[in-house]
Homo-oligomer: A and B are copies of this chain.
Amino acid sequence: MSLLSLPHRRFLQDLFPKTDCLLTPEEMVVFEADASRLEGTPLAVVRPETEEQIIELMRWAHKERIPLYPRARATNVVGLCVPQKPGIVVSTLKMNSILEVDSDDFIARVQPGVITGDLQKRVEQEKLFYPPDPASLGISTIGGNVATCAGGMRALKYGVTREWVLGCKAVLPGGKTITCGGRNHKNVVGLDLLRLLTGSEGTLAFMTEITLKLIPKPESTASILAGFANLEEALHAIKVMFKAGMLPAALEFMGPEVLTALQDAGAVPWPSTVTASLLLRFDGSHQGLEADLEKAGAIFKACNVLWSTTGIGKEEEEPLWDVRRSINPASFKVAPDKYSDDVTVPRGKLLEAVTGIRQIANKHSLTILTFGHVGDGNIHVNIMHDASDHDELARAKRAKKEISNFILSLRGTLSGEHGVGLVKAPYVHLQLSETERSLMKQIKHIFDPHSIMNPGKAF
């Protein structure tokens, strides 16, 4: 049974009628974990529908010193949604309305629980475009994306979620509300609280409404999938392409281990001499795209491409992107378990990073898959292992730690887009100084003096 006191239970049941307040373990079980597979048992789960409910909840929790854990679709892989200490999980599932899409102001105003992919489809009906595309966009939410400053493949051309947030309404611990920014595409009045909340991992305030910037939807897209003899040659081709002034919307690489995994899982389209692959997408006008494909093709040819194929428009492009999408299923044929990481290095250090990770893999007799976003230096690292094999599990853990240290030695960052959450919190001191963390903690204290917002996470 719930560990909540009777008055607390009554308060929550009054504020969240019927099924909007869950108190039994059976009801709460799905709210215990996130995609990190870490878990914690909440005292209760509530599902607000209105800002008024959140104001009341924040007033109460602040007074009673009860932790709150904001949670949307819990696709987070670093334990951000996990109620580590006893507290209330606050689900945004019922705050999932697209409040407004304004094709004159080029904005969308949404509640935090709106699924990113749903918003994208909605705005595209009006020839508008919301570029951020975290891999989880089909199931993750705008609220979660803003809380983590989610990235994605199109970040190369369009930047991350931060660049697309124009405003928000938020409730502070204690129940006061603030409005940051608004509908204006430019706004420089006061300190930038909006971007302070963005990426704060739910540790400062609860966003109840978010205004996003939109742009015209590009006429079309075009993709190239290309195979090279090795990653060095592939990255050289990219360098030449950048020098020629080309900026793809997305630019993905797949390392040798990924290609082997794909090959073992089924047919791959390229010859066996290919050990590194690039997948690019351009967007723009039809005529511009034709020119882009031609130009990129010529560059790749001059850079010893072994194999390539192209597609213009969604239908033609899908088979190319299916190859990348099959990395995840193929990886589980390598080993039943994986540690995923999303380390990021300065762009020019990508080859060095991948080479070093391979050395760590060899040292520990592990298969480590590397793929990700070339343009951001954002490498997805999958340390494959069998968790039932204690020795292998221990080696995987050691490899994970060594990779973190190695990436920092390249002046990289512990997280490019997944965030810190619970999983990386123990390592933050390796990247941020005591002074920097002290400033962050003091800022947290201003917003949340009793530390009720997602405690134990982020910094």
Q: What is the interface of chain A, defined by CB distance below 8 A to chain B?
A: 102, 104-107, 127, 148-149, 151, 155-156, 159-160, 162-163, 172, 176-180, 182-193, 195-196, 198-200, 204, 215-219, 239, 241-247, 284-288, 290-292, 295, 344-349, 373, 375-378, 411-420, 424, 428, 431-433, 435-437, 439-440, 442-444, 446-447, 458-459
CA A378 to CA B186, docked complex, whole Å: 7
CB <8 Å contact, B243 and A216: yes
CB <8 Å contact, A435 and B288: no
CA A373 to CA B185, docked complex, whole Å: 11
CB <8 Å contact, B247 and A215: yes
CA A158 to CA B377, docked complex, whole Å: 20
CA A428 to CA B424, docked complex, whole Å: 39
CB <8 Å contact, B344 and A184: yes
19 residue pairs A–B, Cβ–Cβ below 8 Å = A105-B346, A105-B349, A149-B192, A163-B163, A178-B439, A184-B411, A184-B413, A186-B376, A187-B415, A188-B416, A188-B420, A190-B458, A218-B245, A218-B247, A246-B285, A285-B291, A285-B295, A287-B287, A443-B446
Query: How far in angstroms is the closest Cβ of chain B from A442?
Result: 5
CB <8 Å contact, A190 and B437: yes
CA A241 to CA B458, docked complex, whole Å: 43
CA A437 to CA B297, docked complex, whole Å: 54
CA A317 to CA B333, docked complex, whole Å: 57
CB <8 Å contact, B189 and A435: no
Q: Chain B: which residue is nearest A294 at the CB level?
A: B287
CA A322 to CA B457, docked complex, whole Å: 54
Q: Chain B: which residue is nearest A286 at the CB level?
A: B291
CB <8 Å contact, B104 and A348: yes
For the complex of A and B, the 6 pairs showing the least CB-CB separation, nearest first, are A104-B348, A288-B288, A287-B291, A186-B416, A183-B346, A195-B195
CA A186 to CA B243, docked complex, whole Å: 21
CB <8 Å contact, B196 and A195: yes
Query: How far in angstroms is the closest Cβ of chain B from A446?
Result: 5
CB <8 Å contact, A416 and B187: yes
Q: Chain B: which residue is nearest A166 at the CB level?
A: B346
CA A247 to CA B247, docked complex, whole Å: 15
CB <8 Å contact, B184 and A436: no
CB <8 Å contact, A246 and B216: yes
Q: Chain B: which residue is nearest A442 at the CB level?
A: B446
CA A245 to CA B413, docked complex, whole Å: 35
User: Which residues of chain B are near A345, meaning CB under 8 Å?
Assistant: 184
CB <8 Å contact, A193 and B378: no
A239 and B104 in contact (CB under 8 A), knowing A192-B195, A345-B184? yes
User: Which residues of chain B are near A245, meaning CB under 8 Å?
Assistant: 127, 216-219, 285
CB <8 Å contact, B159 and A428: no
CB <8 Å contact, A198 and B189: no
Q: Chain B: which residue is nearest A151 at the CB level?
A: B186
User: Which residues of chain B are near A417, meaning CB under 8 Å?
Assistant: 186, 188
A413 and B193 in contact (CB under 8 A), knowing A104-B347, A178-B433, A178-B435? no
CB <8 Å contact, B184 and A416: yes
Query: How far in angstroms is the closest Cβ of chain B from A249?
Result: 12
CB <8 Å contact, B420 and A189: yes
A185 and B443 in contact (CB under 8 A), knowing A195-B192, A216-B246, A435-B176? no
Query: How far in angstroms is the closest Cβ of chain B from A147?
Result: 10
